[in-house]
Amino acid sequence: MFADFEKYIRAHVELTDDEVALFRKTAVEQTLRRKGFLLQQGNICRYKIFVCKGLLRTYRTTETGSEHILQFSPENSWTTDPESYNNLTSSVYNIDALEPSEVVMWAKKDFDDLFKNLPALKAYSEDMIQRNLYRTRDRLFFNQTATAEEKYDDFVKNFPGIMARVPLHMVASFLGLSRETLSRIRHAQVKA
């Protein structure tokens, strides 16, 4: 698993072999079966998580039991609950595996130490956080202004690999649409 992460990090951050060894020293590798949890609502998120293989989702469940998916995390992506992770507070989110997955994780103290020892990592991380913030803001605006059809088309365009890997009701949850609306849109596009 770590070899997958090493390939990724070397492509994004210039590191020496000794610096990669620092990553390896504190890394926790974990294999998840489908539906296995990395974080459950009410627990503290203690790790930054890199997905080597598989697919994770971050979601929140309402009091009525409906799920609202905030993020899909496929291979070569990061996930965590930043508020819980940074403040060591209980999370209102869940992170679980939608398919068998392999992840590499770092505890907060260990990742903070990596930041201190690897300035290039800190710069890369800050840049990635900024880009994610911009994308999140754009997605929020888009979700408030786009039609259901536009939301679906945008998802298919920007997440083509995810569409084939998750059930339709999860795509609907991510888009903030009902399953029926999404089915109607897909059916209309097939007829067109």
Q: What is the spatial distance between Cα 51 and Cα 36, in angstroms, rounded to a whole number?
A: 14
The confidence score (pLDDT) of residue 187 equals 86
CA pair distance 59, 57, nearest whole angstrom? 6
In whole angstroms, how far apart are CA 72 and each of 27, 162, 186? 22, 8, 21
Task: Summarize pLDDT for 127-173 with one digit per residue, the tens.
Answer: 999 999 999 999 999 999 999 999 999 999 999 889 889 999 999 99
Looking at residue 189, its pLDDT comes to 80
- The whole-angstrom separation of Cα 45 and Cα 92 is 10
Instruction: Note the pLDDT of residue 160.
Output: 86
pLDDT score for 179: 92
CATH number of 2-145: 2.60.120.10
Q: Where are the domains of the chain?
A: 2-145, 147-192
Give the pLDDT of residue 192: 64
> Residues 162, 74: contact at Cβ < 8 Å?
yes
**How far out from the chain centre does Cα 31 lie?**
16
To the question of pTM greater than 0.85 for the whole model, the response is yes
pLDDT in tens, the chain (192 residues): 999 999 999 999 999 999 999 999 999 999 999 999 999 999 999 999 999 999 999 999 999 999 999 999 999 999 999 999 999 999 999 999 999 999 999 999 999 999 999 999 999 999 999 999 999 999 999 999 999 999 999 999 999 889 889 999 999 999 999 999 999 998 888 776
